[in-house]
Chain A
Amino acid sequence: MREELLTIIEKNSRIDLKELAVILGVEEIDIVNEIAAMEAEGVICGYHTLINWDKTSVDKVTALIEVRVTPQKGQGFDIIAEKIYRYPEVRSVYLISGGYDLMVILEGKTLREVSTFVSEKLSALDTVISTATHFILKKYKDHGTVFKTKSDDEREMITP
């Protein structure tokens, strides 16, 4: 049940527990227990809302920053990653294979705010060798969801 449950709530965390029980063919109490267990185990880490900020009056800038660093002896990348992710404006930090080491996703109000962060905070860390900042111009799809209004059902109304 766990995998199917996760697949559903990953797309819709607001789904009613009663409805979940019905469509999964189990008792509601089992759903409650399973979700509680997964929260305790850290499988479920939060319940977020996917927002297309472009459609609001709020200005936001998102940047993907490639960061090359010198790994610390004995601790690898973890310490430097932590130094970066503790900044609240940092949305995500990933350790990456390939041409650079860390992928940092940063959200700010303006381009200036983001560039200030990169030049004054990120580059100032002594293990950071170099950074390359890419600003996101348009979000087409995020978290598996396409930011476009769906077209109507194009099927014939009745077919055998």
Chain B
Amino acid sequence: MRNPLADKVVDIKPSGIRKFFDIVSEMEDAISLGVGEPDFDTPWHIRAEGINSLEKGKTFYTSNSGLIELRREICNYMKRRQGITYDPAHEVLITVGGSEAIDIGLRAMLNPGDEVLIPQPSYVSYEPCAVLAGGTPVIINLKAENEFRLTAKELEDAITDRTKVLILPFPNNPTGAIMERKDLEAIAEIVIKHDIFVMSDEIYSELTYKEEHVSIASLPGMQERTVVINGFSKAYAMTGWRLGYACGPRVILEQMTKIHQFAIMCAPTTSQYAAVDALRNGDEDIRMMRDSYNQRRRFLMNAFRQMGLECFEPYGAFYVFPCIKEFGMTSDEFATRFLEEEKVAAVPGTAFGDCGEGFLRISYAYSLEKLKIAIGRLEHFVKRLRAEQGR
């Protein structure tokens, strides 16, 4: 029989998270610091709106781009939060999670051999999606000493005449890093100078703990060359609803909509109705959740300080990214032993790129009570490792 598989797909290496997932699911009493989704339930008024839409029989396809009232609410939201004006008819597309938008955005923009700049550590899907879209991923290794922000120099050094798209994943999963206005202005200058495009994944935009999130698309000259990706999963605790969106220039959005139309048809109708309510009435829920995350973030930073574990202060998302280089182990070894000896699952930094070596992603999408237990175990583990090393 012939090989039924496509080389391009077979060559993609499986997610580094998979191995840990398999070990954890065998363990009965393990606790986890490894999730990438909120611990809150979707606020009730949003769920009620989803239920209400089902009761009213809203169970058909929506238009390919998504419900027009949802696209209008997204435009209102972008205007009120970022000061950017989008046309709901042509510049917004509702997708199945932000993930779909990443995939079809790259497919819409890349020609074979076009280079995609991917700062890492970052979310696991940019690189495979770029490959599947026929592009060539070019990794930019972000540095702890820059608090894992992308600098203009790092960007310019990576640009070649084949560079087409820069992926800008901030606030960042897994590091928790943010890019502030001044950082983005420096990036925008280089982007415009070299005439490249930006895919700005802003799925964690509501979860910042320093200044309000700034979208690079709001900077002068950037809206026309930026596709903003956002969604409902993180801000409104709606991961299972699978709903995201892309906003950007009409020329790109039209092509993305074409792929979406043929591959997906439309995003889930129930989720779209619920999302309309989220945007209209969810600001207070976001504030409440953000306050909780911030309290936990401070708790973790304080705990790391007390146990002498090196960690830059992250101001976004719900992750901290402590450095474990002092123990002379790889991230993978550290995470494996932490899991086996203390029964706590955390994700090795290398799952998000080679430059995550020496770091661990710890999620604080858990109640303070649970974090206290898990961090107690981390402290115990760290002490034991230091004792082993005669320190």
Contacts and interface: CB of A to CB of B under 8 A. Distances in A.
The 8 A-B pairs at the shortest CB distance, nearest first, are namely A23-B295, A158-B34, A157-B32, A159-B36, A157-B24, A22-B302, A160-B124, A158-B21
Interface of B: 15, 17, 20-21, 24-25, 30, 32, 34-37, 39, 123-125, 173, 291, 295-296, 298-299, 302, 345, 347, 351, 368
A160 B15 contact: yes
Given A158-B24, A158-B35, A160-B15, 20 more contacts: A22-B298, A24-B298, A155-B35, A155-B37, A155-B39, A156-B21, A156-B35, A157-B21, A157-B30, A157-B32, A157-B345, A158-B20, A158-B21, A158-B345, A158-B347, A159-B34, A159-B37, A160-B36, A160-B125, A160-B347
B17 A160 contact: yes
Contacts of A156: 21, 35
Interface residues of A, number: 15
Contacts, number: 52
Contacts of B295: 8, 23-24
Contacts of A153: 39
Contacts of B347: 158, 160
Contacts of B17: 158-160
A16 to B, nearest CB: 11
Q: Which of B17, B35, B351 has the most C-beta atoms of chain A within 10 angstroms of its own C-beta?
A: B35
Contacts of A158: 17, 20-21, 24, 32, 34-35, 345, 347
Interface string A25-62: 10000000000000000000000000000000000000
A157 B24 CA distance: 7
A149 B32 CA distance: 21
B291 A4 contact: yes
A7 interface: yes
B30 A22 contact: no
Given A157-B32, A160-B123, A160-B351, A23 B299 contact: yes
A23 B296 CA distance: 6
Given A4-B291, A23-B368, A159 B299 contact: no
